[in-house]
Structure 1
Amino acid sequence: MISPVIKDVILAPGNGSFFYDDQAAIRAGAAQDGFCYLGAPLTAGFTTIRMPSRSLSIGLVLSDDMIVWGDMMNVQYSGAGGREPVFQVDTIEALTKSVVIPRLLSCDVSNFLAACDRVLACHENKRLPLAIEYGVSQALLRAAAQMARTTLAEVICSEYHLPLPDTRVPIYAQSGDSREINVDKMILKSVDVLPHGLINSREKFGPSGERFRDFVKWVVKRTKEIGEPGYHPVLHFDVYGWIGLEIGMQAQKIADFIARVADDVPGYRLHIECPADFGSTEAQLEEYAKIVALLDRRGTEARVVVDEQCNTLGDIQLFAETKAAHLIQIKMPDVGSIADSARAVLVCKENGVGAYIGGSCTETDLSARAAVNIAVATGAEMMLARPGMGVDEGISIVGNEQSRLLSVLDYRRSKNSRRDAGEASA
């Protein structure tokens, strides 16, 4: 029997699939010059407003000489909304070598949750950087799956005592700045949830939100023009706090505006992500709960999605228990360990709140595929197509991983049924 331990660890610097952007500078009106932003950055750690995203891969060499990988990185808008600073490869690599690798060597990977608890324990009374938690936990999950000869999803189901899933999780695609072209791509591919829209500036939101409302109506019009008969996606727009910034930071005004947008597109479920950023988790909890209650009383098809100021598992639990959102984005690199992302979905479900397995365009194909396994195993309400901002790549990576995974799980069920039937007849 092969010992389920790690005998060596290797590191490989790499690239994320988009860029790190200084949200504060963009929100302050930084002008674009082609793909670049002009001016000085405002957020600590940024050397320019837009920086290429980086990653650091960690490979665990197992006793059978198989090597399993996980990828560390941060999200596009690092340092904003209560998030950790922008990713620095050298800093993360040094801490990984000095603290994490010694913990990994000879670690028993057969129990995923126990391995995470041991390897990702606090250092000097502080959590490890969440990027490290994220990448290392991916590798540990793959190690557990390798030892058990199962999928990542089956490891999660086993450790959280969940039934093997048979349900597809709806996929949500994001457009980036190439809104019109990418919306067409999403519609032609019949994406479940679209288009994000990247409404991250006053120019894109428009005076009193009129430009945004026109865009929402255009998306519906375009869906009817080029979509397959019967295609009826969920509409999900991320407005990066601009309803509050432009309309006012009062819950009533924000709810009134969201309701008006819903009235513009009757019959469609409308998700509004980050209608306002109230500056802290506590303030966000209080004000979002008011907005949710106001919309519920109206009976609209609009749902509020929280992102900023709701980062960790503890934050997510607070928002779920307080009903301070209809849907919570579990932004996996910000949550840290993917064990916590799995727990976060279950916390949302226990409290009757929607769980959206999110992430960032800055991620990698490896982290995206791990996310699919978490979403499917836990039965999330939707998951983000990633990495990158090209639409096609993210839909392909996430969609194909889900299709393969569900086919494997269906095969397992069929095989087990045949075996059980044979044993019964014997």
Structure 2
Amino acid sequence: MRIESVRAVPTVSGFFFDDQRAIKEGATQDGFAYDGEPVTPGFEDIREAGEALTVELELEDGSVATGDCCAVQYSGAGGRDPLFRAEKYRPVVEGTVASALRGRDATEFAENADIVEELPAARPTEDGGATGGDDGDSTDQLHTAVRYGVSQALLEAAALANRETMTETLADALGTTPATEPVPVFGQSGDDRYTNAEKMIIKGVPVLPHGLFNSVEKLGEDGEGLREYVDWLATRAVELGPEGYDPTIHVDVYGVLGDVLGAPYDRAAVTDYFGTLAAAAGPFDVQVEGPMDAGGREEQIHEMTELRDGLASAGVDVDIVADEWCNTFEDVRAFVDAGAADLVQVKTPDLGGVQRSAAAVRYCDGTDTRAYLGGTCNETVTSARTCAHVALATDAAQTLAKPGMGFDEGFMVVTNEMRRALARMRPTPEATADD
């Protein structure tokens, strides 16, 4: 089954692009917007409407496979690729990428995805085409968002051609045995961290609530805001949760906790604080994502390792999650090899092709680091559905509910896609009865 044509359509994503540096440096909210000037290159405002670029691959039988190029909310921060502009990359997809894929066998997912992964960076030309050159990316490859979206379409194309689920197609390419039950879903609350958390509890979400503690104002001058929130959350989980509910509490602090506590991170003042979080959580496990932002990968690994070792020595049962400066497959490997985290977030848009995210999850197998297949609120339904199959194919430790910050919609999208895929992969009731 050949790929006949490639189209690219500018679309919208599920949330916004935010200038993380400006927010962490004290930008104040004005309603839903932010006052002040952006500081990260590429931003015209601190908060901008998110963008996506839909890629459609038309196959020779007339079927169409779809993927969405999209980038993380905090683009350009923590070593990530710069802000993604859909119109800028449309001619790249319909030029450079289309030329590489047109006429290819759609069933050859791994080979096709590798071809896209190896394409050089390109920029638009005046005639609407694309040419090689420096487009401002942090590498000499296509923007990660482009590789991400095209790989989604390639995975669906192969699944359509093979008449199977994307989970089966990817598992076959990886040589893995897929999960037989849905991967635990991690809900994200956005700034509405109380109401949305209660929604999660009532629905029995396995991992919650993210919390979006991205400023000292939210976290508290001494971290007291986070501690009080964890205590409230544990109480509400008992009051509102279904019978036997045993969630994992996972909060993201965007490096701000490091600003509050300060290095070195193995000293008693730091480990004691983490101990208060564990106590506030009561019977529930706690995970803290992005405890500090050291400004570079090696520095981040050093400080995360220092914190993890300090917590272990003090007997504090709080897991730490790598996010900042853990963007590419090579980054994931470095964090895992150093033992710098209990979990690494595999931030799907930052790794490029979905096969790269799958490989990063698999790299954690056999280590004491678990893989969290994450991403961003600023994705789309299409990318979220595809990632549900990546989670199943790799049997990740947890996966993110996305897109958007309303919680309910993203939880529905990811949960239902996994349940449908698993149902398709099991024998039908009729076949079982016939046997």
Could you say which TM-score interval applies, normalised by the shorter chain? over 0.9
Task: Tell me how far apart the structure 1 counterparts of residues 115 and 105 of structure 2 sit (CA, whole Å).
Answer: 10
| 2:284 counterpart of 1:287 | no
Task: Tell me how far apart the structure 1 counterparts of residues 4 and 24 of structure 2 sit (CA, whole Å).
Answer: 47
1:237 to 242, 251, 260: 251
- Structure 1 pair 189/103, CA: closer, same or farther in 2 (3 Å)? same
Matching of residues 132-211 of structure 1 within 5 Å? 132-211=146-225
**Paired residue for 2:404?**
388
- Structure 1 pair 414/144, CA: closer, same or farther in 2 (3 Å)? farther
Residues 88-134 of structure 1, C-alpha deviations (whole Å, 9 max, x = no match): 11221132233111111112221211111123313158211100110
How high is the TM-score relative to the length of structure 2? 0.92
Contact 2:234 2:282 in 1 (8 A): no
- Structure 1 pair 414/310, CA: closer, same or farther in 2 (3 Å)? farther
How high is the TM-score relative to the length of structure 1? 0.94
Task: Tell me how far apart the structure 2 counterparts of residues 343 and 204 of structure 1 sit (CA, whole Å).
Answer: 35
Task: Give the stretch that moved more between structures: 293-302 or 229-238.
Answer: 293-302
Say which structure is richer in helix. 1
The structural deviation recorded for 1:57 is 0.3
Contact 1:249 1:276 in 2 (8 A): no
The structural deviation recorded for 1:48 is 0.7
Contact 1:166 1:410 in 2 (8 A): no
**Paired residue for 2:235?**
221
- Structure 1 pair 103/206, CA: closer, same or farther in 2 (3 Å)? same
Contact 1:372 1:401 in 2 (8 A): yes
The structural deviation recorded for 1:244 is 0.7
Task: Tell me how far apart the structure 1 counterparts of residues 296 and 422 of structure 2 sit (CA, whole Å).
Answer: 39
2:346 to 330, 350, 361: 330
Task: Tell me how far apart the structure 1 counterparts of residues 433 and 2 of structure 2 sit (CA, whole Å).
Answer: 34
Task: Tell me how far apart the structure 2 counterparts of residues 131 and 287 of structure 1 sit (CA, whole Å).
Answer: 29
| 2:374 counterpart of 1:358 | yes
**Paired residue for 2:136?**
none
* Number of equivalences: 416
Residues 351-380 of structure 1, C-alpha deviations (whole Å, 9 max, x = no match): 231000101001000000000000011110
Residues 243-287 of structure 1, C-alpha deviations (whole Å, 9 max, x = no match): 110110322244442233112223211000000011111111122
Task: Give the stretch that moved more between structures: 274-283 or 118-127.
Answer: 118-127
List alignment gaps of at least 5 residues for structure 2: 121-131, 133-138
Task: Tell me how far apart the structure 1 counterparts of residues 392 and 310 of structure 2 sit (CA, whole Å).
Answer: 32
Task: Tell me how far apart the structure 2 counterparts of residues 406 and 298 of structure 1 sit (CA, whole Å).
Answer: 42
The structural deviation recorded for 1:295 is 1.8
Q: Which amino acid aligns with 1:44?
A: P
Residues 281-332 of structure 1, C-alpha deviations (whole Å, 9 max, x = no match): 1111122122122222333331000001000011101111111100000010
Task: Give the stretch that moved more between structures: 104-113 or 371-380.
Answer: 104-113
CA RMSD of aligned residues (A): 1.7
SS at match of 2:365: helix
List alignment gaps of at least 5 residues for structure 1: 422-426
Percent of counterpart pairs with the same letter? 40
Task: Tell me how far apart the structure 2 counterparts of residues 281 and 412 of structure 1 sit (CA, whole Å).
Answer: 48
Task: Tell me how far apart the structure 1 counterparts of residues 271 and 95 of structure 2 sit (CA, whole Å).
Answer: 49
Contact 1:357 1:382 in 2 (8 A): yes
The structural deviation recorded for 1:413 is 11
Structure 1 segments of 4+ aligned residues over 4 angstroms from their partners: 412-415
| 2:426 counterpart of 1:410 | yes
